[in-house]
Chains A and B, each alone.
Chain A
């Protein structure tokens, strides 16, 4: 009845139960945090803008990104994945989302920044609809916890427009 195996089994079961409970509580505690992040993106320059040989429009641009995401971090946050996407509608597609830049923020210290960057991923349309196109820049973040549920949210910034002519 009180053999070694029996005790080891009871101890292991208890330890795993407690661990699972603590993970669940850690994940739930993220709900108590109500973050208030802020961000601003300026387009400093359209580096070039052309139609590829097979007909898709491609743009290269330089952005200035200012953001303060410190309030997203809690004790259960492993990292925040951050990306900027251009979002627009064309006659072919109801929604186009194209990632232009992304970054992994490993800790709260790095969550407030201001940087200049050109687009890290190619901004290519499906077709040739980008001349004079109005689009939104959306800053998305995905919070990856140490354990438990992942959170995501975004800030939409509108009123950007591409030039009327290729350059």
Chain B
């Protein structure tokens, strides 16, 4: 009867090994995604190198669901560039075009005015109360390229969080139970 106990033990240890290796592969997927993201931050110099367009204010150039690649360099800000900037009291950064630049003589400090291509007026009414210009420190990056449609998944997931939980759960389950 010894062989029964032996095989049970071997099956048990197999199970543990398999579960362990599946958890490790899950960890590898998560950490490689993190490495790619942090690597992009290093290369582009922008704290969020990829953003999803959420509003229609830049139609027809950028549509809802497009993703934008940002770069932040030391180059001065110039009129016509599409910049992503934060406004105090707003959670979501704004992606709009620079229409006015005033750069100081000695300090090089800039005052920037922005406008969405699809909006009738400039952005002064979107700025914080009493703010007349966007400054260098508000700007997170400038758009250098874009890819259409790819961001739709993010929009769906932020607007319907249940989809996100189902998706993450299903993927996790798939990774843990897959037997290749």
Report which A residues bind B (CB closer than 8 A): 23, 27, 78-79, 81, 83, 85, 91-99, 102, 104, 106, 121, 126, 140, 142, 144-150, 152
- Min CB distance, A2 to chain B, in Å? 12
For window 142-171 of B, CB contacts with A under 8 Å fall at 143-148
Q: How large is the interface on B (under 10, 10 to 19, 20 to 34, 35 or more residues)?
A: 20 to 34
Q: Which residues of B contact A27 (CB under 8 A)?
A: 145
Q: Mark B22-47, 1 if CB is under 8 A from A, else 0.
A: 00000000000000000000000000
User: Which of A23, A94, A104, A142 contacts B103, CB < 8 Å?
Assistant: A94
Given the complex of chains A and B, what is the CA–CA distance between A142 and B79 in angstroms?
11
Q: Which residues of A contact B117 (CB under 8 A)?
A: 81, 104
Question: Beyond A146-B148, A147-B148, is A98–B100 a contact (Cβ under 8 Å)?
Answer: yes
CB-defined A-B contacts under 8 Å, sample of 25: A23-B147, A81-B61, A81-B117, A85-B80, A91-B105, A92-B105, A93-B104, A94-B104, A94-B108, A95-B101, A95-B102, A96-B103, A97-B101, A98-B99, A99-B79, A104-B60, A104-B117, A106-B60, A121-B122, A142-B82, A145-B145, A147-B148, A148-B146, A150-B145, A150-B146
Q: Which residues of A contact B143 (CB under 8 A)?
A: 150
Given the complex of chains A and B, what is the CA–CA distance between A92 and B108 in angstroms?
11
B64 within 8 A of partner (CB): no
Cβ contact within 8 Å between B80 and A152: yes
Cβ contact within 8 Å between B147 and A99: no
Q: Which residues of B contact A92 (CB under 8 A)?
A: 104-105
For window 100-114 of B, CB contacts with A under 8 Å fall at 100-105, 108, 111
